[in-house]
Copies of this chain bind each other. A is one copy, B any other.
């Protein structure tokens, strides 16, 4: 059996990578509802085919008020800065990555962490709690 093992409690680490190009959004929103998912972004890089202009990557997520928020993740230009370390920028789903300027391609990579949901692991006998929140 590959992938996530059901009996695990500790976070498991998988490889994550995506390519951003003009007009192409990348969504991070795993559909699994038994586990908690998180991205730890590590690197953003250009490609030999990336035009020598400023490529600005935007991420859209949720702020602490539950509102949609856009933030600039990184700005790269092949002749000035072809790669930059993102230093473990933590993204919680749902999140969308897109190019705000530049046509890309820009490569984003890091780790996809999968962990048992904290509530579930300590309150296994109470399945209704999460559903109540959504009412």
**Inter-chain contacts of A26 with B (CB < 8 A):** none
Summarize A's interface: helix, strand, loop or mixed: strand
B5 touches A63 (CB 8 A): no
A85 touches B86 (CB 8 A): yes
Copies in the complex: 5
A76 touches B72 (CB 8 A): no
B82 touches A76 (CB 8 A): yes
- Given known contacts A69-B15, A85-B85, A130-B7, is B62 in contact with A56 (CB within 8 Å)? no
B89 touches A43 (CB 8 A): yes
Chain A 70-100, CB within 8 Å of chain B: the 1/0 string?
1111111111111111111111100100000
Contact of A54 among B78, B80, B81 (CB under 8 A): B78
**Inter-chain contacts of A86 with B (CB < 8 A):** 42-43, 85, 87
**Inter-chain contacts of A80 with B (CB < 8 A):** 78-82
